[in-house]
């Protein structure tokens, strides 16, 4: 292993990293929030809008580990700045294309769909480096056993971006879709400027001849399975909440949409609050995963029996609070399982598992919901209980 300088001798300034996570998450979610109205204007079918959204998750699944491994070999600063630059350009290109399609008349739907699909996938390709290299940076600068607390801060910044994205869109969209799309395009440039100025130049690099941790590396099996299970449950919960409010609570379309939006806003708040709490209490990562899995299972179980909007909101809040303990803990678990020069590969493996969960979750949730409204929540409860028991028996 080669070293430019010992990172342990320096404290990592978390504030620029938190801003980068917040700004990039905000940019991604702002575009997702405006995609629905834009799809209506452009004449997209529901599956086409869903495909554009899913393209980002597929890119995360395919490329996160590659970015992590590259940062192990070439250095965190060089690779992260390269990826952020690519994200700036690709996100701007996607936003510009979206604005162009909205302003043109009688453009083929296939052209708008194909362009947005390709550019969303390209944007996701570069964005995949953000969570992977951010987690690796923290793992480089924090000793084993303390990484989970710092990773929780990164998770809270992402959660705040999830909350603020739809809020920013709602605030700006009143001035028109074009202004809302343009505003989201500027956010990655702010993140790039901040990281260019404050990203550390000292770092650990892996030996160029050393083999990186592979996806089938036994050391990463447990964190990858937990990451996939957690994100799959989140995806299932996201895709079913609107249908549940419409069918189970007997609300009209507008009221069901508002109820679902409130539930998902509560999810973002719960994620941020729970990860801030995790920073205060010093538990091992495995204990947080068990506690979070059990709490999330309880939340989803209550949703299955919900008969009011308030019960739905509370169930989602409790479930998300538990997930807020799981996500940073699984990243800490992966970082502690490998050597310093493999932190990027480990973080990328976890992000890859998240990406596949983002793809499988909505598809599985839709399929199970077709059987019965309560089936997806029952499956989530059972899966989370098995996960928690497995981790408790094999910490």
- Residue-level pLDDT at 5: 41
Taking the C-alpha atoms of residue 176 and residue 119, their distance in angstroms, rounded to an integer, is 22
Each domain of the chain, given as residue ranges in start order, spans 12-199, 217-395
Q: How confident is the model at residue 43 (pLDDT cuts 50, 70, 90)?
A: confident
Taking the C-alpha atoms of residue 272 and residue 267, their distance in angstroms, rounded to an integer, is 9
Q: How confident is the model at residue 96 (pLDDT cuts 50, 70, 90)?
A: very high
Q: How confident is the model at residue 395 (pLDDT cuts 50, 70, 90)?
A: low
Q: How confident is the model at residue 314 (pLDDT cuts 50, 70, 90)?
A: very high
Q: How confident is the model at residue 118 (pLDDT cuts 50, 70, 90)?
A: very high
12-199 folds as Growth Hormone; Chain: A; (1.20.1250)
Name the nearest CA neighbour of 205 among 340, 9, 348, 345: 340
* Model pTM score: 0.79
Residue whose entry in the numeric block shows the structure tokens 């996960």: 387
- Residue-level pLDDT at 8: 44
The CATH number that domain 217-395 falls under is 1.20.1250.20
Q: Which residue has the higher pLDDT, 45 or 379?
A: 379
Residue 4: is its pLDDT beyond 60? no
Residue-wise pLDDT for 151-167, tens only, equals 888 877 877 776 666 65
Residue 301: is its pLDDT beyond 60? yes
- Residue-level pLDDT at 79: 94
**Mean pLDDT of the chain, nearest integer:** 83
Mean pLDDT throughout 196-216?
A: 64
Please, are residues 365 and 240 in contact by the beta-carbon 8 Å criterion? yes
- Residue-level pLDDT at 2: 41
Lowest mean pLDDT among 79-93, 121-135, 339-353: 339-353
- Residue-level pLDDT at 212: 54
Lowest mean pLDDT among 51-55, 77-81, 92-96: 51-55
Mean pLDDT throughout 100-104?
A: 86
Residue-wise pLDDT for 336-364, tens only, equals 888 877 888 888 888 889 889 888 888 88
Highest average pLDDT, of 30-39, 71-80, 139-148, comes from 71-80
């Amino acid at each position: 292993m080669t070293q430019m300088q010992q990172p342990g001798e320096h404290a990592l300034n978390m504030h620029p990293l938190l801003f980068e996570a917040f700004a990039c998450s905000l940019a991604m979610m702002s575009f997702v929030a405006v995609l629905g109205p834009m799809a209506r204007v452009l004449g997209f079918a529901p599956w086409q809008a869903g495909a554009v959204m899913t393209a980002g998750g597929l890119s995360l699944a395919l490329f996160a580990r590659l970015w992590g491994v590259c940062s192990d070999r070439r250095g965190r600063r060089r690779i992260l700045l390269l990826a952020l630059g690519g994200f700036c350009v690709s996100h701007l290109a996607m936003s510009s294309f979206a604005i162009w399609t909205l302003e043109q008349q009688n453009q083929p739907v296939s052209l708008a769909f194909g362009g947005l699909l390709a550019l969303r996938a390209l944007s996701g390709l570069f964005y995949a480096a953000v969570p992977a290299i951010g987690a690796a940076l923290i793992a480089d600068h924090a000793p084993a056993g303390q990484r989970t607390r710092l990773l929780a801060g990164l998770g809270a910044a992402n959660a705040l971006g999830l909350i603020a994205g739809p809020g920013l869109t709602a605030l700006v969209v009143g001035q028109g879709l074009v202004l809302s799309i343009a505003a989201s395009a500027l956010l990655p440039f702010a993140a790039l400027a901040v990281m260019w100025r404050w990203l550390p130049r000292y770092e650990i690099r892996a030996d160029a001849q050393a083999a990186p941790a592979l996806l089938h590396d036994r050391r990463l099996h447990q964190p990858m399975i937990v990451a996939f299970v957690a994100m799959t449950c989140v995806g299932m919960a996201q895709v079913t909440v609107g249908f549940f409010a419409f069918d189970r609570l007997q609300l009209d379309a507008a009221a069901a949409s508002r109820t679902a939006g409130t539930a998902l806003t509560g999810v973002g708040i719960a994620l941020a609050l729970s990860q801030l709490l995790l920073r205060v209490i010093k538990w091992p990562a495995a204990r947080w995963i068990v506690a979070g899995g059990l709490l999330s299972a309880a939340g989803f179980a209550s949703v299955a029996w919900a008969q009011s909007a308030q019960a739905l909101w509370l169930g989602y809040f409790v479930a998300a609070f538990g997930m807020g303990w799981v996500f940073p803990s699984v990243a800490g678990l992966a970082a502690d399982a490998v050597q310093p020069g493999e932190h990027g590969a480990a973080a990328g493996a976890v992000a890859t598992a998240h990406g596949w969960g983002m793809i499988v979750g909505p598809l599985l949730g839709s399929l199970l919901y077709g059987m019965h409204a309560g089936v997806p929540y029952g499956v989530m409860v059972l899966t989370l209980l098995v996960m928690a028991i497995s981790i408790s028996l094999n910490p």
